[in-house]
Amino acid sequence: MSTLLAYLEDERGPAQRLARACRLEHKEIARHRFPDDELKLVIDLPTDTSTLVLYRGLDRPNEKLVELLLLARHARLSGVQRLLLVTPYLGYMRQDIAFQPGEIVSQTIIGGFLAELFDAVMTVDPHLHRISRLDQAIPLPAAIALSAAGSLADLVAQRRANPLLVGPDAESRQWVESAAAAHQLDHAVCTKERRGDRDVDIALPDIAVAGRAVVLLDDVASSGHTLAGAARLLLAAGAASVDVAVTHALFAGDALNVMEAAGIGEVWSTDCIQHHSNVVPMAPLLAAALLTLLDDNSHCGLARPREGL
């Protein structure tokens, strides 16, 4: 009985790095799109595959969720007994409460969907704002949330002398405090009032920034407007430089242009989402947790009946 790690072409690099770190056999999943946009996936699983690790990040997630459904069902029908999902970026965690009547809370619905398909789910820095544990969103005993804060802190400490870490909003506090603790760095957190997806008001914390090399640190960069707003204020307050370190490089639309126009210098990210700003590989962090999970049968049992999907 063997363990196989499978991935799609667009995530070949980080998936293979993880497979090598864990010394796992790995296989690429072939993907074809029909003229009507339906998908065909192909993976020839060895007959002795008892555990399948699927590596699939859920940035731009709508189509990828269909991929996971097809792959997980196929794996079960092929006799796979343990099915693990490594999803470095976990989508649909933002909508965790209904702000208006009728709004659908996607976090618990997508979390339940993944729990029906997989025996374990592993991710990095999920956007958990109003809950404290990943298993509150994905009801599995092995719902594992890792953090890249320490890895980002290592990079910042290498690239900048005596940096000041600043979180762009209150939600970033957990990552900023964790990263700062890794190297005993000065840190602070801005306050933010959001009026829309691209309309935010930022206020700087009460800390001297003049002459400092400031690094804005957060879990995710999407539109770039929050980071850009904070950067403009920091530079106006006399910061010598403002760089950005993020776990998840979503950078939707013209985000990088918005950030550059605000005076942001370097942008550093992990390889949780493929982007030219990737400088921090997550394979070592993921491998340590994955190897522990593969060795632990108590949290990841044999195939169980699946209902409703």
Question: What CATH number should be reported for the domain holding residue 264?
Answer: 3.40.50.2020
Residue 102 and residue 48 in one domain: yes
Give the residues across from 189 on adjacent strands. Answer: 167
Query: Same domain for 172 and 290?
Result: no
Domain span including residue 53 = 2-147+283-295
| Nearest C-alpha neighbor of 197 from the set 126, 253, 119 | 253
Query: Nearest 5 degrees, angle CA 126-CA 72-CA 287?
Result: 50
Maximum pairwise Cα distance, the chain: 63
Q: What is the pLDDT of residue 198?
A: 56
Task: Dig out the tokens for 294 from the structure.
Answer: 């593969």
Q: Are residues 27 and 135 in the same domain?
A: yes
* Same domain (yes/no): 186, 220: yes
Based on the fold, state whether residues 35 and 66 are members of the same structural domain. Answer: yes
Phi-psi region of 44 (alpha: psi -120 to 50; beta: other; left: phi over 0): beta
Contact 169, 189 (CB under 8 A): yes
pLDDT at 301: 47
Same domain, 288 and 143: yes
160 and 109, same structural domain?
Answer: no
> Do 30 and 139 sit in the same domain of this protein?
yes
197 and 66 co-located in one domain: no
**In sequence order, which ranges of the chain are alpha helices (DSSP H)?**
12-22, 62-77, 106-117, 149-159, 173-183, 225-236, 255-261, 283-295
User: Is 41 within the bounds of a domain?
Assistant: yes
Please report the pLDDT score of residue 217 as a whole number. Answer: 97
pTM listed for this prediction: 0.91
| Burial class of 216 by CB neighbour count within 10 A (0 to 12, 13 to 18, 19+) | buried
Residue 274 and residue 170 in one domain: yes
Residue 123 backbone phi and psi in degrees, to 5: -145, 180
Q: In this structure, what token pair is assigned to residue 146?
A: 């890792």
Residue that is written with structure tokens 């491998």 in the block: 287
Q: How many domains does the chain have?
A: 2
Give the C-alpha separation, 171 to 262, whole Å.
22
* Structural domain contains residue 106: yes
79 and 90 belong to one structural domain? yes
pLDDT means over runs of 10, the chain (309 residues): 94 98 97 96 95 97 97 97 98 86 93 98 92 94 97 97 94 93 95 66 90 96 92 96 97 93 97 96 98 77 40
pLDDT of residue 286: 98
Instruction: Tell me, yes or no, whether 115 lies in a domain.
Output: yes
Give the pLDDT score at 196.
57
- Does 304 fall in a domain? no
φ, ψ (nearest 5 deg) of residue 61:
-85, -15
Per-residue model confidence (pLDDT) at position 1:
64
**pLDDT the model gives residue 209:** 94
Does 183 share its domain with 123?
A: no
